[in-house]
Structure 1
Amino acid sequence: MKIAFVGKGGSGKTTLSSLFIRHLAAERRPVIAVDADINQHLAPALGIDEREAAELPALGAELPLIKDYLRGSNPRIPTAETMIKTTPPGHGSRLLRVREENPVYAACARPVQLEDGSDVRLMVTGPFTESDLGVACYHSKVGAVELCLNHLVDGRDEYVVVDMTAGSDSFASGMFTRFDMTFLVAEPTRKGIAVYRQYKEYARDFGVALRVVGNKVQGPDDVDFLRAEVGDDLLVTVGHSDWVRAMEKGRPARFDALEPATRQALEALHGTADAAYERRDWDRYTRQMVHFHLKNAQSWGNARTGADLAAQVDPSFVLDESRTATEPV
């Protein structure tokens, strides 16, 4: 399962994604957690101190390694330099799986042990560096996440949870189509609802499974407001949590001490995500991958690489769960 948390900046999407990651880990599910937000707050939300979080390896910095590993022996991709963030896999490409060791995870993922002894793999895009300021956009870093998701084969009871960039920035690439379920975290405010409406409008033609998680809800009036504005898209609401407040102060208790109401909300998210797995359509997933690759190739990729990137598309290749082994190299 590939799951995204999106929402307005400050809505609490990082906090809720970290709670959901903890919930899955407590259930002893294999989890890869990915921080793809420019603010890079997921590591501290999972209990890593700020100094250690700043030293985590960045996906963006390892892009040459990622490209070279994933292209494998794919004859349509003769060099890593011709790969861009949307390059799709084909016969000969190497694929990623949640439960494995590989050079990409060795370079970019770090194990994080949580309060109850469970653990997850954490990958981060990395913050802006001094050399980036004024000359690069953050999507150049997020591109490494998109490339990995395009080459990822995940199955039942395997989870990749991505804390996305805030607001509609997610639509700066095709990555918004890479998820089985997207949870939009919305406060009961006009600004929170505006982000929901914009997100739903942009995603409308791409079959994006979208549910709303109401956050910072203080009473029935807030619930009624959200229900009136988003209708049946509202899945659950979450209010104040002493456990979360302690976690944000760097003093989290054991996860089994989380308040029952918040725990029930996380269980609802889990059940909704698992139900989305039953509707997974690998053919559509592959078609959308190709669609955005061709758009990027025509818009900037061909000029950037000096190659015809449409030739990277393998028309006989469909990414699906039958591809459980690394493609031959």
Structure 2
Amino acid sequence: MRVAFVGKGGSGKTTLSALFARHLAHSGAPVVAIDGDINQHLAYALGLDEEELFAAPPLSARTSEIKNHLRGANPLIPSRDAMVKTTPPGRGSRLLRLLGDDEIHAHHVQEIAGVPLMVTGAFDERDLGVACYHSKLGAVELYLNHLVDGPGEYVVVDMTAGADAFASGLFTRFDMTFLVAEPTRKSVSVYRQYRDHAAEFGIPVAVVGNKVTGADDLDFLREHVGADLVAHCEQSPYVRAQEQGRGHDGLEPHNVRTLERLRAAVDARPKDWATFQRHAVDFHLRNAAAWANEATGRDLTTQVDPGFRHGPAALTTLA
């Protein structure tokens, strides 16, 4: 099951992404965390020392190699140069299993505090003024497009802040989207914006309240978010101690129960492979018309394989 954490910058979505991924990993569940935020902080939120560097190469550094691996023997994709971030899988494509024996997981995963992590990669000087961050997220979109995950398996993605997550079709790649909302007007305004954009494509959004200090905060969230509020986190001395590099006994019982509620909400979601593939094809066709046909000099609409059915049954077509 794929889980996205979104929200206003500073709302705590990176912290919640890390806590949830660690909660899943410590339960023994197969999980991969992905840092898809322009501010690449998830590794440190998981427990990497501030003086250390994440050793595995970022996904964006090997996008060409990732494309070449995933296209496999798909006859509709003659080369990696003909493949763009939205190219959907078809018969002959190489599909992925979570933490499977493939070159993507082998090259890009580093375990931190028991959580396998992949990162998109940060902006560098070569990107400034000539590229947007979503060009780096293309490798994440390709990974999720070609992943066949099942119940009890989890991908946790820390997404870009605010409605910027809608700048690509990546927001449709998830089974559950948790929007982290503080009890403030600015934070709930981001919730409304995200909710309205997501509703256009039938993407459900569940809200996790964060930094709640008392009944007034909780009442505020209930008033402005309503039934979309699935759980909330109280101000956490444990999190603050972690952020300051101090030891602490452990996450507070209320916040542990919140993580359990989030997992239950994810597990209750049905896996809808038909809708997933329909969204993938729709956004590929949109991007082909908007820029990709011109950029590649090809008609990329021909990459859609109408006979392909995504999901576990498609694993038999692995090249």
- Class of the TM-score when normalised by the shorter of the 2 chains: over 0.9
The worse-fitting range, judged by mean Cα deviation, of 103-112 and 169-178 is: 103-112
- Return the match for 2:282 from 275, 291, 315: 291
Aligned to 1:250: 245
Asked if 2 retains the 8 angstrom alpha-carbon contact of 1:30 and 1:120, the reply is no
Asked if 2 retains the 8 angstrom alpha-carbon contact of 1:43 and 1:53, the reply is no
Extract unaligned runs of 5+ from structure 1: none
Deviation at 1:52, TM superposition (A): 2.9
Check if 1:82 corresponds to 2:82: yes
Aligned to 1:318: 309
**TM-score if structure 1 supplies the norm length?**
0.94
Check if 1:327 corresponds to 2:297: no
How many percent of aligned residue pairs carry the same amino acid? 58
Deviation at 1:51, TM superposition (A): 4.1
Asked if 2 retains the 8 angstrom alpha-carbon contact of 1:211 and 1:234, the reply is yes
Deviations 1:53-99 (A, max 9, x none): 35441111110110000000000000001111100000000011114
Q: Which amino acid aligns with 1:88?
A: P
Q: Distance in 1 between matches of 2:242 and 2:265?
A: 26
Asked if 1 retains the 8 angstrom alpha-carbon contact of 2:82 and 2:298, the reply is yes
Q: Distance in 1 between matches of 2:280 and 2:246?
A: 42
Deviations 1:22-60 (A, max 9, x none): 100111001100000000110000111234335441111
Aligned pairs, number: 319
Q: Tell me, what secondary structure is at the counterpart of 1:262?
A: helix
Deviations 1:87-129 (A, max 9, x none): 00000000111141211112222122x2xxxx22111011011
Q: CA RMSD in A?
A: 1.3
Q: Distance in 2 between matches of 1:326 and 1:202?
A: 35
Check if 1:305 corresponds to 2:296: yes
Aligned to 1:241: 236
Deviation at 1:151, TM superposition (A): 0.4
Q: Distance in 2 between matches of 1:93 and 1:75?
A: 9
Q: Distance in 1 between matches of 2:313 and 2:204?
A: 23
Aligned to 1:91: 91
Asked if 1 retains the 8 angstrom alpha-carbon contact of 2:94 and 2:146, the reply is yes
Q: Superposition pairs for residues 207-222 of structure 1, below 5 Å? A: 207-222=202-217
Cα 1:325–1:47, aligned 2, differ >3 Å: closer, same or farther?
Answer: farther
Asked if 1 retains the 8 angstrom alpha-carbon contact of 2:91 and 2:317, the reply is no
Check if 1:168 corresponds to 2:163: yes
- Return the match for 1:182 from 177, 186, 201: 177
Asked if 2 retains the 8 angstrom alpha-carbon contact of 1:244 and 1:252, the reply is no
Extract unaligned runs of 5+ from structure 2: none
Q: Distance in 1 between matches of 2:154 and 2:55?
A: 25
Asked if 1 retains the 8 angstrom alpha-carbon contact of 2:55 and 2:110, the reply is no
**TM-score if structure 2 supplies the norm length?**
0.97
Q: Distance in 1 between matches of 2:292 and 2:91?
A: 22
Asked if 1 retains the 8 angstrom alpha-carbon contact of 2:99 and 2:105, the reply is no
Q: Distance in 1 between matches of 2:111 and 2:159?
A: 20
Q: Which amino acid aligns with 1:270?
A: R
Q: Which amino acid aligns with 1:170?
A: A
